[in-house]
Amino acid sequence: MSGGAGGAVAEAPVIVAARRTPIGTAQRSLAALTAPDLAAAVIADLAADLAAAPPERGVPGIGEVVLGNCTGPGGDVARVAALQAGLPDTVPGLTVDRQCASGLAAVVLAVAVLRSEPGVVLAGGVESASTAPWRFWPPADGGAPTRYERAPFAPATVGDPDMGPAADLLARDSDVSRRCQDEYAARSHARAAATQRAGGFDAEIVPVGGVARDERPRAGLSVDRLARLRPAFGPGGTVTAGNACGVNDGAALVTVVDAETHRRLGVPGLRVLATATAGVDPNRPGLGIVPAARLALDRAGLGLDQVDVVEFNEAFAGQVLACCAGLGLDPARVCPEGGALALGHPWGASGAVLAVRLFTQLVRRPGGRHGLAAIAAGGGQGVAMVVEACR
């Protein structure tokens, strides 16, 4: 790497803290908590870290809170959560929506802001599927109102499949068998259950509502047991409730600072080497990981063989396996401590959960130097980030 490039890297924003709530199954352990409730708990925890920094280090106050959210109550969830967390009313909040990639998109936005405006930004995402409001189309011709199921991911003329059927099509196109999907899902649960037993998630979790552990991981979930489940999206499909993610509640945020603030803090962190956002065919939205990851790695000047920890959002096992095939990546390298198939997929938060997971594996208990996080979104989009541990 040239001296100029090295200097640019040294001035890149740094993630200095990363936390999340436990991830709960919708209508279960976190069902009574709203999106602001979940996010505020993590914001308050990260703000307390900053407040504990010695005054002589001159760490600036929080300049902004940026949150991703998909199906929440509407309005500016980030602003509500920031105020609920006790931040001064001078701290603005911004809520962004890039569907399932919203949480990582919020982190990308924070990084972009800090490249030009020094300071501190709390960024991440939140989803409370349990408390998301129901909406209805007005009645037609005096009839009953129609339940509004979801916003469009893309125009119907282009193709706007639901994520489950789209995952079935992607698995078929990529020749990913049902057994391979079940094997991948069983491994994700086994890894997450083992990590949970060993306390590997404990340091990153902020207890909320009396809950301190992820609800979904299941030890001993065998391939044979998964094989008994029926296709979830029609006869002949290969996606089931067992090799797909759940519907979940949770929040995750990171503290991002500019390079000079990081030097004053004097703490380890993750330097953000590169980020990328890409688009793909909306009919195969799960493939968004592939071009986003490639572009982020290219911008970072790294190959996949130089990445120590890979965190992809495991929306569907078949989707992850198709993306791995597209990238020439061994699927066993993805989510080494279990991913969304086991932990859950709180839509607006999931991209930020990936950042938290990288922080734990590369900073809290150092296990390498470089990390890659990537997530796909409805409508055919992908977001990726490449980081480097700095100590």
- Residue 180 catalytic? no
Both tokens assigned to 286: 């799960």
Contacts for 297 with CB less than 8 Å, ≥ 6 apart: 274, 303, 304, 307, 372, 384, 386
Single out the catalytic residue among 70, 100, 323, 324: 100
Nearest-angstrom CA–CA distance, 79 and 57: 28
CB 36 within 8 A of CB 28: no
Partner residues linked to 66 by β-bridges: 94, 123
Single out the catalytic residue among 189, 262, 345, 370: 345
CA nearest neighbour of 214 among 198, 183, 192: 192
- Within 10 A of 157 (CB to CB), how many other CB atoms are there? 6
Residue 318's Cβ-count burial label (10 Å; 0-12, 13-18, 19+) is buried
Nearest-angstrom CA–CA distance, 23 and 343: 7
CB 239 within 8 A of CB 163: no
- Residue 324 catalytic? no
Nearest-angstrom CA–CA distance, 140 and 110: 44
Which residues are catalytic, by number? 100, 345
